């Protein structure tokens, strides 16, 4: 009689102390990939807060519902909090209501991701019907604990601001990758296009790594400007092709600073307010798209004070 055995791996260890437990995101990712290559069916992660650093139960409004957002996941995700089930998700959004499951002090959040059959068929039975993006499985994040009330997007006030991210003003663009067809160049996002009418004809950027995230697109201004908002225009219909989760980063003091985060987007145009910051470099980091395949951006507009904003630091 044949017996089917499913093998799982707790990458970050179980309830007992484990020597050489991976701790950093890079170490955890490397251990998870090693386990997947070894043929394990599921990877388990345990997320623990650091004592004295972050009290999850008190970090947010105690009266607001608490939500654990896993970000981008390929496969089925199961979450338990302090040994109690928070549910199972088989498709996005991979968000779990953890209200009432967290407690003051230390908490243990366990995330189990069951992969799809894509990697199995892609490796064991090569076929043109398994695409590159389908072979990716696991938890890609970013993982965030938020109150549901904090998800409401603030409206940007563009009074007195003007778009300074235009190639006619000297703005340039670099990207993590570009589509190999050569029809979706990164510098087209500052060419003044605001719709997808010229998509695939030099009117928008498409990354070149199918099914792999994050991707990024960086706008360099000719000189520092006092930036107060960033507008990102993605391909429509956005609910099908647009970017879903992304961060807006600004270069300040030699470091990248996260100025805004957008999650679960299904809009074509997103105007994101940020606390005024003087910078000459703005980066859009895309963590997922609504088709889990590509990052597609028509335009990036950076709004700053037109007078006195474009001046040297």
- Cα separation, 132 vs 96, in Å, equals 28
Average pLDDT of every residue of the chain: 81
The terminus-to-terminus CA distance of the chain in angstroms comes to 75
Note whether 222 and 288 are within 8 A (CB): no
Find where tokens 């003007």 sit: 162
CA distances from 277 to 140, 180, 225, 250, 305 (A): 29, 35, 8, 8, 11
Note whether 40 and 75 are within 8 A (CB): no
**How many CB atoms neighbour CB 270 within 10 A?**
20
* Residue 74, token pair as written in the block: 């390929």
* Percentages of the chain per state (helix, strand, coil), in multiples of 5: 15, 40, 45
Global model pTM greater than 0.85: no
71 exposure class (CB count in 10 Å sphere: 0-12, 13-18, 19+): buried
Beta bridge partners of 271: 231
List the chain pLDDT tens, one digit each, 313 residues: 555 545 556 665 555 555 566 666 567 667 766 766 666 656 666 555 444 334 444 455 545 678 898 888 888 999 999 999 999 998 878 889 998 888 888 888 999 988 877 777 766 666 666 666 666 778 887 788 877 544 456 688 899 999 999 999 999 999 999 999 999 999 999 999 999 999 999 999 999 999 899 999 999 999 999 999 999 999 999 989 999 999 999 999 899 999 999 988 989 999 999 999 999 999 999 999 998 899 999 999 999 987 544 443 3
Note whether 216 and 172 are within 8 A (CB): no
**What domains appear along the chain, each with residue ranges and CATH number?**
8-151 (2.60.120), 162-304 (2.60.120.260)
Sheet of 84-89: strand order equals: 8-10, 42-48, 108-114, 76-81, 84-89
């Amino acid at each position: 009689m044949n017996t089917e055995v499913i093998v799982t791996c707790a990458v970050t260890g179980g309830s007992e102390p484990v020597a050489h437990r991976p701790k950093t995101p890079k170490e955890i990712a490397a251990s998870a990939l090693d386990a997947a290559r070894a043929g394990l069916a599921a990877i388990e992660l345990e997320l623990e807060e650091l004592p004295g650093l972050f009290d999850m139960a008190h970090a947010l409004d105690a009266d607001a519902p608490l939500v654990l957002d896993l970000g981008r996941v390929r496969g089925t995700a199961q979450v338990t909090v302090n040994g109690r089930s928070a549910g199972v998700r088989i498709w996005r959004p991979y968000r779990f209501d953890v209200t009432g499951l967290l407690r003051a002090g230390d908490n243990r959040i366990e995330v189990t991701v069951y992969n799809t059959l894509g990697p199995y068929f892609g490796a064991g039975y090569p076929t043109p019907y398994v695409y590159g993006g389908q072979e990716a499985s696991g938890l890609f994040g970013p993982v965030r604990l938020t109150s549901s009330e904090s998800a409401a997007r603030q409206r940007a006030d563009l009074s007195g601001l003007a778009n300074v991210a235009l190639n006619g003003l000297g703005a340039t663009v670099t990207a993590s990758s570009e589509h190999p067809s050569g029809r979706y160049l990164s510098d087209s996002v500052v060419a003044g296009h605001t719709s997808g009418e010229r998509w695939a004809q030099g009117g928008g950027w498409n990354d070149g790594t199918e099914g792999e995230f994050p991707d990024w697109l960086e706008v360099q201004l000719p000189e520092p400007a006092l930036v107060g908002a960033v507008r990102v225009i993605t391909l429509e219909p956005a609910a099908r092709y647009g970017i879903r989760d992304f961060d807006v980063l600004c270069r300040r003091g030699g470091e990248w600073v996260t100025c805004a985060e957008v999650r679960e987007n299904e809009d074509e145009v997103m105007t994101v307010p940020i606390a005024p910051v003087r910078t000459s470099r703005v980066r859009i980091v895309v963590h997922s798209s609504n088709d889990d395949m590509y990052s597609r951006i028509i335009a990036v507009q950076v709004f700053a004070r037109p007078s006195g904003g474009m001046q040297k630091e």
